[in-house]
């Protein structure tokens, strides 16, 4: 019997698999062993062909050639990684290889990466699937003991293929159509554009908001205070200053009587385990990390340090087969940090773990379970430790009791006016013991979640209410008399909805169903939203990179360019409804419940509609690329603006887009998928020509370039070289 070829998604993962499988003979592009040969892709090795690969006339962007809809989508090798593809092609078709194991990331995109290579290599050998959520040695070994038939994932591949081809059809055609029509390079996509629309719509709400003055009246008694309340309107404010002053003067010094005392027991359940979206939101709120940075750290914690499970998950639950190992896991996690040990000791002291369906639910785990620690120890950099600690503390908190408190509401009637006082008494700290240092923020979690979902803050008294509930109320009875010692009138203004933070936008993307009127799609988008946990960060970064959005402190604010784009694209293209329909059917395809070809036919019809709308869209001069006046890059900008849209080569980062000339440099055309590849027109004072970038893309490095200037003002010469994932580094002789 021949050997088994194991195909990983990245070299680093391949090396880990090779070590566990006992492969030690390092070769060019693979590692050999007695039973296994381990090789790898480098992200995407194979991609869909570009328009000009079908017909040379498509190389020039023109409305006359649109829509571009090939009768059959073809594959080709990504430039810059052809050598690695050739190695895989040779191994897959080698007589020494009998079986193949697909060990790319266990998800839709990982399946696509392997299948594209497998098909283009012309391989027909049987293959199995490695499906794991942890990179610790024990998980890898267990995964190889339970390999699954490759054909079990055919429907998942069809879903991935449809997603890829649909994005190509809509993205290529929409981007070309609006770019040519408007005269400036514009990125249009099924996730990026509706995400931008969320920000633009919020900006419109803010711009159209008319602030109103209002007043609150506070009555101070001997040892507590209360707010005036209008029982007819149901609010603790008046919009008439004269009325506020009249009420304050009317009740000051008067004696009131307690008409009602209401005590209400409340509780907050422990937070659920993390999915990627929730982890990114918390890291943004607590540490100011961007979603992109949190994902990058989490990926390192998974692949490099092996201290957490697979991070690109949309589930917040574990599976029932994990229940028996949880107590041992919690013990190990407690040994990874002093902050964690007391909580682990408490949980270990319980006679049994308080397992609920908020923790374990097989029905709510699809590709991967929630993000949890693996129990492995590692010395982590500062930022990585912060993210790891978030994950570890969340695991602990999930097994703590609920947080219980009592809210007491006292109603006082004074001179015919009603005043309400509230006080809060904590009865059981519960899971908040785990987060003592941020108890105040946790106590407002329900309010913050509402704001994150994009709800307009129609009232601005939430902060005062929270402070009000913190006062300690004396023991009183209904009918008791209280004297108003003093009164105050506070002047305030109604506030507009707030700008989205990155955490808030992630929540809006996750809960995009509220922007959709169709009830079935709204229900579906509760679970899926805009994009996936793995792509939302890159979509936000792309909106920033292309100038549709800018950061102002912690807020994300749409630019005039972004606002103008939303004005001209058709409603379907900027509505989450289209994404909801796509995701709904893609999920059905993955489950074998929908026909892939029917889906793609509808996409082709939609593509033709988008092109038609672009042709008749209003011209917006502000969307045209403008020359920059920066003295250090006038010449470079002049060259670039004269050639905006010129294709220089295949994108080395995503492998699917093409690098085109843009106003400030050279970037990937596949912005809609969140590809972040970009080369500035000027690097450390050195202007890059299109020929420099072409050489970089074709050969993986430039000629020796002269004239770079260091931060200290020193001149130096170097080559620019492409590294794994499209990163660019200096190379010196």
Instruction: Categorize the per-residue pLDDT at 633 as very low, low, confident or very high, splitting at 50, 70 and 90.
Output: very low
Closest residue by Cα to residue 77 from 122, 125, 11, 126: 122
Tell me the average pLDDT of the chain. Answer: 86
Q: Tell me, what CATH number does 231's domain have?
A: 2.70.20.10
Q: Are strands 715-722 and 705-709 parallel, antiparallel or unpaired?
A: antiparallel
Cα distance between residue 87 and residue 82, in whole Å: 9
Q: If you average pLDDT over residues 372-381, what whole number do you get?
A: 95
**CATH number for the domain that contains residue 595:** 1.10.460.10
Distance of CA 450 to the CA centre of its chain: 18
Buried b (16+ CB within 10 A) or exposed e, 202-224: bbeeeeeeeeeebbbbbbebeeb
Q: Are residues 518 and 597 in the same domain?
A: yes
- Among 98-112, 543-557, 629-643, which stretch is predicted with the lowest mean pLDDT? 629-643
User: Based on the domain organization, do 290 and 393 belong to the same domain?
Assistant: yes
- CATH code of the domain containing 311: 1.10.290.10
pLDDT interval class at 365 (50, 70, 90): confident
Q: What share of the chain in percent tops pLDDT 90? A: 62
Separation CA 675–CA 505 (nearest Å)? 19
Same domain for 218 and 306 = no
Sign, CA dihedral 44-45-48-49, equals positive
DSSP state of 85: H
Choose the weakest-confidence range: 218-232, 423-437, 447-461, 680-694.
Answer: 447-461
Q: What is the pLDDT of residues 445-488, one digit of tens each?
A: 443 333 333 333 333 434 444 445 578 899 999 999 999 999 99
The pLDDT assigned to 637 comes to 36
Q: Residue 37 pLDDT more than 80?
A: yes
Q: For residue 683, give Cα distances in angstroms to 661, 664, 665, 706, 720.
A: 16, 11, 10, 11, 10
18 inside domain: yes
- Between CA 109 and CA 104 the distance in angstroms is 9
Place of tokens 């029917």: 598
Cα separation, 30 vs 91, whole angstroms = 9
Q: What range defines the domain where residue 721 resides? A: 634-731
Residues 297 and 386 in one domain: yes
In a domain, 66, yes or no: no
Distances (CA, A) of 177 to 50, 187, 646, 685: 16, 10, 15, 34
Q: Indicate if the pLDDT at residue 231 is higher than 90.
A: yes
Domain shared by 473 and 607, yes or no: no
7 with 142, same domain? Answer: yes
Confidence bin at 417 (pLDDT 50/70/90):
very high
Mean predicted confidence (pLDDT) in 666-677? 71
Q: What is the pLDDT of residue 452?
A: 36
Distances (CA, A) of 165 to 43, 159, 162, 599, 625: 18, 10, 5, 11, 29
711 falls in which pLDDT band (50, 70, 90)? low
Last residue of a domain, one of 341, 371, 397: 397
- Give the side-chain half-sphere CA count within 13 A for 306: 14
Q: Which of the pair, 155 or 470, is modelled with greater confidence?
A: 155
- In this structure, are 220 and 287 located in the same domain? no
User: Looking at residue 7, which CATH number applies to its domain?
Assistant: 3.40.50.140
| Helix (H) / strand (E) containing 111 | helix 108-120
Q: What are phi and psi for residue 148, nearest 5 degrees? A: -105, 150
How distant, in Å, are the alpha carbons of 269, 305, 357 from that of 136?
31, 9, 27
53: in domain:
no
Q: Residue 340 falls within a domain, yes or no?
A: yes
Residue 167: closest CA among 656, 651, 593: 656
Phi/psi at 678 (nearest 5 deg)? -160, 135
Count of all residues that appear for the chain in the document: 733
Calculate mean pLDDT across residues 193-200: 93
Read off the pLDDT band of 659 (50, 70, 90): confident
Catalytic residues: 310
For residue 431, pLDDT over 90 is answered with: yes
Whether the CB-CB separation of 532 and 273 falls below 8 Å is answered with no
Beta bridge partners of 230: 235
pLDDT in tens, 483-536: 999 999 999 999 999 999 999 999 888 877 665 555 555 555 555 578 777 788
Is 714 or 186 the better-scoring residue by pLDDT?
Answer: 186
Same domain, 531 and 582: yes
Q: Which residues neighbour 399 within 8 Å (Cβ) at sequence distance 6 or greater?
A: 270, 330, 347, 350, 353, 354, 359
Whether 179 and 188 have beta carbons less than 8 Å apart is answered as no
Q: Is residue 51 part of a domain?
A: no
- CA separation (Å) from 662 to 119, 563, 629, 636, 678? 34, 20, 16, 11, 10
- Residue labelled with tokens 């990504």: 78
Q: Judge contact between 194 and 512, C-beta under 8 A.
A: yes
pLDDT at 538: 87
Helices first, then strands: H and E counts in the chain? 25, 28
pTM, two decimals, is 0.76
**Quick one: 473 and 427 in the same domain?**
yes
Classify residue 201: in a domain, yes or no: yes
* pLDDT of 441 over the 80 cut: no
Least confident of 12-21, 287-296, 625-634, 680-689: 625-634
Say if residues 423 and 469 touch (Cβ distance below 8 Å): yes
Q: Considering its fold, how many domains does the chain have in total? A: 5
Domain boundary among 493, 509, 531: 493
* H helix or E strand, kind and range, residue 524: helix 519-525
Same domain, 437 and 289: no
pLDDT tens for each residue of 675-687:
778 888 888 878 8
Q: State the pLDDT confidence band at 220, using cuts at 50, 70 and 90.
A: very high
How many C-beta atoms surround the C-beta of residue 618 within 10 A? 9
Pair 642, 697 in one domain: yes
Q: How many CB atoms lie within 10 A of CB 531?
A: 27
Over residues 52-87, the pLDDT tens digits come to 999 999 999 999 999 999 999 999 999 889 999 999
Evaluate if residue 438 carries a pLDDT over 70: no
The least confident of 257-261, 354-358, 478-482, 506-510 is 506-510
Domain end (from 95, 118, 146):
146
Query: Which two structure tokens, joined as six digits, stand for 607?
Result: 């593509």
* 456 and 514 both lie in a single domain: no
Average pLDDT over residues 702-729: 80
Kindly state the percentage of the chain with pLDDT values over 70: 89
Residue at 58 is within a domain: no
Distance CA 179, CA 517 (A): 31
Peptide bond into 67 cis (omega under 30): yes
Residue 452 in any domain: the answer is yes
Q: Please give the pLDDT value at position 414.
A: 96
Q: CA nearest 556: which of 492, 504, 621? A: 504
């Amino acid at each position: 019997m021949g050997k088994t070829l194991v195909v990983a998604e990245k070299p680093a993962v391949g090396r880990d698999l090779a070590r566990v499988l006992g492969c030690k003979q390092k070769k060019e592009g693979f590692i050999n062993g007695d039973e296994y040969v381990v090789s790898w892709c480098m992200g995407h090795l194979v991609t869909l062909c570009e328009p000009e690969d079908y017909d040379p006339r498509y190389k020039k962007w023109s409305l006359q050639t649109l829509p571009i809809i090939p009768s059959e989508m073809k594959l080709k090798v990504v430039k810059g990684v052809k050598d690695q593809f050739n190695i895989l092609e040779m191994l897959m078709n080698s007589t020494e290889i009998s079986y193949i194991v697909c060990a790319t990331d266990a998800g839709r995109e990982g399946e696509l990466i392997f299948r594209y290579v497998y098909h283009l290599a012309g391989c027909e050998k049987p293959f199995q699937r490695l499906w794991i959520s942890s990179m610790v040695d024990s998980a890898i070994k267990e995964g190889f003991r339970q390999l699954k038939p490759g054909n079990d994932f055919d429907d998942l591949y069809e879903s991935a293929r449809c997603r890829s081809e649909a994005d190509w059809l809509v993205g290529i055609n929409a981007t070309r159509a609006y770019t040519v029509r408007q005269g400036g390079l514009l990125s249009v996509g099924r996730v990026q554009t509706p995400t931008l629309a969320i920000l633009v719509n919020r900006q419109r709400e803010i711009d159209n908001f008319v602030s109103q003055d209002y007043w609150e009246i506070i009555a101070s008694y001997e040892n507590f205070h209360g707010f005036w309340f209008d029982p007819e309107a149901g609010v603790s404010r008046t919009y008439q200053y004269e009325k506020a002053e009249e009420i304050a003067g009317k009740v000051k010094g008067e004696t009131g009587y307690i008409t009602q005392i209401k005590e209400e027991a409340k509780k907050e359940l422990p937070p659920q385990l993390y999915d990627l979206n929730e982890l990114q939101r918390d890291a943004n709120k607590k540490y100011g990390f961007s979603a992109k940075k949190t994902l990058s750290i989490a990926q390192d914690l998974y692949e490099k340090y092996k201290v957490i499970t697979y991070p690109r998950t949309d589930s917040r639950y574990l599976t029932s087969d994990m229940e028996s190992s949880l107590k041992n896991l919690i013990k190990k996690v407690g040994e990874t940090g002093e902050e964690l040990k007391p909580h682990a000791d408490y949980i270990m002291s319980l006679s049994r773990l308080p397992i609920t369906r908020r923790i374990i639910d097989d029905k709510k785990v699809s590709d991967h379970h929630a993000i949890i620690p693996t129990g492995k120890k590692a010395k982590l950099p500062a930022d990585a430790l912060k993210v790891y600690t978030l994950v570890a503390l969340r695991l602990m908190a999930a097994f703590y009791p609920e947080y219980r408190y009592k809210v007491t509401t006292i109603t006082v009637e004074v001179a015919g006016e009603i005043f309400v006082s509230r006080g809060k008494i904590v009865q059981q700290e519960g899971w908040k013991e785990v987060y003592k240092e941020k108890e105040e923020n946790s106590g407002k979690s329900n309010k913050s979640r509402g704001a994150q979902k994009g709800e307009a803050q129609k009232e601005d008294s939430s902060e005062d209410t929270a402070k009000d509930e913190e006062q300690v109320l004396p023991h009183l009875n209904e009918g008791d008399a209280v004297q108003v010692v003093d009164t105050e009138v506070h002047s305030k203004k109604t506030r507009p909805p707030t700008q989205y933070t990155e955490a808030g936008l992630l929540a809006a993307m996750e809960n995009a169903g509220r922007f959709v009127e169709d009830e079935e799609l709204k229900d579906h988008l509760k679970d899926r939203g805009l994009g996936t946990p793995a792509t939302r960060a890159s979509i936000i970064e792309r909106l920033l990179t292309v100038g549709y959005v800018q950061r102002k402190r912690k807020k994300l604010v749409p630019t005039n360019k972004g606002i103008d784009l939303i004005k001209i694209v058709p409603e379907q293209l900027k509505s989450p409804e289209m994404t909801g329909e796509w995701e709904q059917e893609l999920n059905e395809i993955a489950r074998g419940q929908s026909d892939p070809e029917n889906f793609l036919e509808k996409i082709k019809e939609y593509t033709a509609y988008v092109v038609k709308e672009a042709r008749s869209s209003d011209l917006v001069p502000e969307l045209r690329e403008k020359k920059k006046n920066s003295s250090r890059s006038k010449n470079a900008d002049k060259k670039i603006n004269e050639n905006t849209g010129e294709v220089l080569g295949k994108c080395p980062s995503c492998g699917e887009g093409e690098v085109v000339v843009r106003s400030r440099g050279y970037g990937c055309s596949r912005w809609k998928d969140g590809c972040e590849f970009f080369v500035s027109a000027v690097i450390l004072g050195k202007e890059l020509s299109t020929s420099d970038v072409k050489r970089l893309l074709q050969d993986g490095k430039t000629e020796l370039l002269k004239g770079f200037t260091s931060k200290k003002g020193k001149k130096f010469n170097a080559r620019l070289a492409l590294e794994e994932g499209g990163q660019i580094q200096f190379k010196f002789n």
